[in-house]
Amino acid sequence: IDRNAVKLNDKFSHLLIQLILSPAAERLRYILGEDDDMPNPTLFTEMDTLQQDGDELEWKESARWVKFEEKVEDGGERWSKPHVSTLSLHSLFELRTCLQTGTVVLDLEGYSLPQIVDEIIERQIDEGMLSPDLREKISFVLLRKHRHQTKKPIHRSLADMGKASGGGARHAHSRSMNDIADTLSTDQLRNKFMKKIPRDAEASNVLVGEVDFLDKPFVAFVRLAQATTLGGLTEVPVPTRFLFILLGPTGKAKSYNQIGRAIATLMVDDLFSDVAYKARDREDLIAGIDEFLDEVIVLPPGEWDPKIRIEPPKKVPTADKRKSVYSLNELGQPNGTAGGSGGHAEDEEMPVAHELGEELAHTGRFCGGLFLDIKRKLPWFPSDFYEGFHIQSISAVLFIYLGCITNAITFGGLLGDATDNYQGVMESFLGTALSGTVFCMFSGQPLIILSSTGPILIFEKLLFEFSKNNGIDYMELRLWIGIHSCIQCFLLVATDASYIIKYMTRFTEEGFSSLISFIFISDAIKKMVSHTQYYPINTDFKPDYVTLGCQSVSALMSTPYGIVMPNMAKLNITDLDWSQLSKKECVKYGGSLVGNTCKYVPDLALMSFILFFGTYSMTVSLKKFKFSRYFPTKLRKLISDFSIFMAIMTFVGLDRLIGLKTPKLIVPTEFKPTRPDRGWIVLPFGKNPWWVYLASFVPALLVTILIFMDQQISAVIVNRKENKLRKGCGYHLDLFWVGVLMAVCSFLGLPWYVAATVISIAHIDSLKMESESSAPGEQPQFLGVREQRLTGILVFVLTGVSIFLAPILQFIPMPVLYGVFLYMGVASLSGIQFWERIKLYMMPSKYQPDFPFLRHVPLRRVHLFTLVQIICLTVLWVLKSTVLAILFPVMILGLLVVRKMLDMVFSQHDLAWIDDILPGKDKKDKKKKGDKDDTKKKDKKKGRADDSKDKVRNVKIYCHQLADLEQKKPC
pLDDT in tens, 164-213: 433 333 333 334 445 677 777 777 777 778 878 888 889 999 999 999 88
Q: Which pLDDT band, with edges at 50, 70 and 90, does 540 fall under? A: low
Q: Quick: pLDDT tens for 448-499.
A: 888 877 677 777 877 888 788 777 888 888 888 888 888 888 888 888 777 7
The CA distance from 652 to 660, in Å, is: 11
Asked whether 58 and 147 are in contact (CB, 8 A), the reply is yes
Virtual CA dihedral for 793, 794, 795, 796, nearest 10 degrees?
60
In 3D space, the residue among 587, 596, 546, 547 whose CA is nearest the CA of residue 565 turns out to be 587
The CA distance from 875 to 803, in Å, is: 40
| Domains delineated in the chain | 37-150+193-312 (3.40.930.10), 377-533+659-770+782-813 (no CATH), 832-923 (no CATH)
End-to-end CA distance of the chain: 12
> What local confidence, expressed as pLDDT, does residue 775 receive?
67
In 3D space, the residue among 280, 224, 226 whose CA is nearest the CA of residue 108 turns out to be 224
Q: Which pLDDT band, with edges at 50, 70 and 90, does 245 fall under? A: very high
> What local confidence, expressed as pLDDT, does residue 264 receive?
93
Sign, CA dihedral 473-474-475-477, equals positive
Whole-angstrom CA distances from 186 to 53, 60, 183, 192, 329 are 23, 18, 10, 12, 48
| Least confident range of 16-25, 326-335, 458-467 | 326-335
Q: Quick: pLDDT tens for 851-895.
A: 878 888 888 888 888 898 888 888 888 877 666 666 666 777 778
The CA distance from 782 to 768, in Å, is: 7
Q: Quick: pLDDT tens for 77-90.
A: 788 888 888 898 89
The more confidently predicted of residues 782 and 950 is 782
The CA distance from 342 to 456, in Å, is: 49
- pTM (two decimals): 0.65
* Whether residue 115 has pLDDT greater than 70: yes
Q: Is 865 exposed, middle or buried (0-12, 13-18, 19+ CB in 10 A)?
A: buried
- Mean pLDDT for the stretch of residues 659-672: 76
> What local confidence, expressed as pLDDT, does residue 36 receive?
58
> What local confidence, expressed as pLDDT, does residue 259 receive?
93
The CA distance from 484 to 113, in Å, is: 80
The CA distance from 919 to 355, in Å, is: 7
The more confidently predicted of residues 625 and 951 is 625
- Mean pLDDT for the stretch of residues 309-332: 63
Q: Which pLDDT band, with edges at 50, 70 and 90, does 7 fall under? A: very low
Phi, psi of 814 (to 5 degrees): -65, -35
The CA distance from 647 to 624, in Å, is: 13
* Whether residue 607 has pLDDT greater than 50: yes
Residue 801 neighbours by CB distance under 10 Å: 10
Phi, psi of 339 (to 5 degrees): 85, 5
